[in-house]
Chain A
Amino acid sequence: GDSVTQMEGPVTLSEEAFLTINCTYTATGYPSLFWYVQYPGEGLQLLLKATKADDKGSNKGFEATYRKETTSFHLEKGSVQVSDSAVYFCALNRGGATNKLIFGTGTLLAVQP
C-alpha cells in the first residue's frame, strides 16, 4: 500500500545552519505531496505542497521538489531559526475513491541559538 518514510529525528541544528529532512514515498499513480509542520501543543499547518513531478513547493524559506524518479520530496531550508523548532510531517494524497492524507512518522527539529 501507499506509504511515506521520513528520516528519524530528532534533528538538532544551530541557528543559521542548513536543513534537510529526507522524505521518500511509495504510491501508485501520481500523488500530491505535502509538508506539514506541528508546533508544540498545536494542530498541523500546511507548509508547502507539490502536485506533479518536478514541481517545487516553497514557503517561508522552506523548499521541496517533487522527484518522481527517486520518489522523494526532501524538505530544505538554507538558514534555520529557533522559531523553526517543531515536528515536520511529510504526507501524500493519491486521491481516488478514498481521498486521504498518508503521513510519515514526523521529524522533530530542534534549533539552538
Chain B
Amino acid sequence: DAGVTQSPTHLIKTRGQHVTLRCSPISGHKSVSWYQQVLGQGPQFIFQYYEKEERGRGNFPDRFSARQFPNYSSELNVNALLLGDSALYLCASSLDTETYYGYTFGSGTRLTVV
C-alpha cells in the first residue's frame, strides 16, 4: 500500500506569490490534516478535514486555506507568501477522527520563500 504522498517535495516561491500543496492519503483514510513545521520546532496544526468538511483550524491567518476532494485527497493553499511561511508542510492521514488512531504522515513539502 502506498503511504501518504505529497507533492511537490520542494518548492521555492517569491514573497507575495501564491502556492498550492497537494496530499493523497492512504487508501481508505478519510481524514486529512495539515501541519507546518518550522526548522527546529515541532509541527503546528493548520487544518483538519474529514469527509470533505473542515473539522478544525489552527491559529493561522486567513491567507491559509484548504479543501478536501471526493477521493479524500487534499490541497493546502497559501496566498500572499511571507518569508515566515518558509517551512516543511506535512500532511497526515487517519482512518477516522478518533484520537486512538495514529496519524500517518507524508514526507512533506519543503517550501522556501525568498
Contacts and interface: CB of A to CB of B under 8 A. Distances in A.
Interface of A: 4, 31-32, 34, 36, 42-46, 49, 51, 89, 91, 93-95, 97-106
10 contacts: A31-B99, A36-B105, A49-B100, A95-B99, A99-B48, A100-B33, A100-B56, A103-B42, A105-B41, A105-B42
B102 A49 contact: yes
A44 B43 contact: yes
Interface size class of B (residues with CB under 8 A): 20 to 34
Interface of B: 4, 31, 33, 35, 40-45, 48, 55-58, 90, 92, 97-100, 102-108
The 5 closest A-B pairs by CB, nearest first: A103-B42, A98-B56, A100-B45, A95-B99, A44-B105
Contact of A46 (B31, B103, B106, B107): B103
A61 B98 CA distance: 26
